[in-house]
Amino acid sequence: MLQHFFGLVYLSTVSQIVLFTGTHADECPLQFNPQRAVVRYGGPVSVNCSTSVQHDGIGWEASEGAVPMSKDNLITWRVSNLRDLDIEPFCYINLDKQCQIELPITIYKTPDSVSISTVYHIGPMKEGNQYELQCDVLNVAPVQYLTVKWYKGQTLVNQTTFTDTIKTPVNETATLMIRPDRSDDGVQYRCEAELDLGEEGPRPPPKVTSKPLSITVHFRPIIIETKLSSVVLQGYPVVIVCEAEGNPKPTISWNLGTNNPVYSETLTITDSTPEDLSCIANNSVGTDIRHVKLSKQGNSPNYIACVVVALLVLFIGLFLCVWKKLF
């Protein structure tokens, strides 16, 4: 039933279209080939206007390339260098009375330049802050068919379209808000101005791409935990390492509980090193701190002394017993 219903709707739509074009053709029996002209500014164009009915003359009216009235059934409007952006060519036919059809025409101009820049900001960006990128497209027409595409590396991240119907070339600006994070350091942004002129337009659509804009992102240090492995001290000096990722490169220091931090990525641990210490990674953006608890074990000198004393006591005891028994 439903299918039937849609079938009916479809049929009536189709018949309406047929009816419409039918009456249109009855009104003025002219055809364009191509049906719509898409011309590069300053480029060539040629469009045929033809009829299949008996007539008293057909012709083209246009500010450039007009074709005088002719008895032929096909006449061609031709311009080798189209520069009139407001051109409105039409084809007419003389029957009982005259009728005419205007040619749909789009004259496009690819941008002279496309450039990308940051707005209100110079130099490195800081992770988590918001910044504005700007794309300037100079001298492009018609802006109605313009799409500005934003790429981060190879990824399309956003696009901007324009609704202005002005025919003359204009300058347009598109903006993109970004909030870079630490992984975006060194990433390249670019913008691309594309004119999508429809089926009659050039394929692929003409486009102009900006030079890439590399961004530098400053981010606070994060100490790489896995590198701070647990420490086993065996009576010998051990070197521990503290590494951190940050931009700019962090300064690494060790706090040993004294007033003098040790500025080094590595720290040599001896028996006199306090058990509680921390690594500090610092740059202009922030600071990261990790506490390290040393586990001292094994043959420390105290342990050896203890064993020596214990053995000595045992030996003296034994000696005393044996001595008493003998004498």
Ligand X SMILES: *[C@@H]1O[C@H](CO)[C@@H](O)[C@H](O)[C@H]1NC(C)=O
CB of 285 to ligand X, least distance (A): 9
Structure-token pair, residue 209:
């791409």
Closer of 13 and 168 to ligand X (Cβ): 168
CB of 215 to ligand X, least distance (A): 16
The reply on whether position 70 binds ligand X by CB under 6 A is: no
> What's the CA gap between 49 and 30, in Å, rounded?
6
Part in contact with ligand X (CB under 6 A); list of ranges 116-124, 233-241, 267-275, 280-288: 280-288
The reply on whether position 208 binds ligand X by CB under 6 A is: no
> What's the CA gap between 123 and 218, in Å, rounded?
10
> What's the CA gap between 201 and 92, in Å, rounded?
25
CB of 300 to ligand X, least distance (A): 32
| The one among 33, 70, 80, 161 contacting ligand X by CB under 6 A | 33
> What's the CA gap between 128 and 168, in Å, rounded?
41
**The amino acid at 117:** S
Q: Which of residues 243-262 bind ligand X (CB under 6 A)?
A: 251, 253
The reply on whether position 34 binds ligand X by CB under 6 A is: yes
How many CB atoms lie under 10 A from the CB of residue 36?
Answer: 15
- Site size for ligand X, by CB under 6 A? 16
Whether residue 74 contacts residue 48, with contact meaning beta carbons closer than 8 Å, is answered with yes
| The one among 118, 158, 188, 300 contacting ligand X by CB under 6 A | 158
The reply on whether position 52 binds ligand X by CB under 6 A is: no
Longest CA–CA separation in the chain, Å = 159
CB of 26 to ligand X, least distance (A): 23
| The one among 76, 98, 118, 300 contacting ligand X by CB under 6 A | 76
Reference 189, options 172, 217, 208, 213; nearest CA is 213
Closer of 113 and 214 to ligand X (Cβ): 113
Q: 């486009």: which residue's tokens?
A: 207
Peptide bond into 34 cis (omega under 30): yes
CB of 246 to ligand X, least distance (A): 11
Part in contact with ligand X (CB under 6 A); list of ranges 85-93, 189-197, 200-208, 279-287: 279-287
| The one among 170, 208, 222, 256 contacting ligand X by CB under 6 A | 170
Q: Which of residues 88-147 bind ligand X (CB under 6 A)?
A: 138-139
CB of 8 to ligand X, least distance (A): 37
3-class DSSP assignment, residue 38: strand
Closer of 140 and 217 to ligand X (Cβ): 140
Structure-token pair, residue 292:
């390290």
Structure-token pair, residue 61:
């009216």
Check the CA dihedral 14-20-23-24 and report its sign.
negative
Query: Strands across the sheet with 74-79, in order?
Result: 31-33, 45-50, 74-79
Contact footprint for ligand X (CB under 6 A): 33-34, 48, 74, 76, 138-139, 158, 160, 170-171, 251, 253, 280, 282, 284
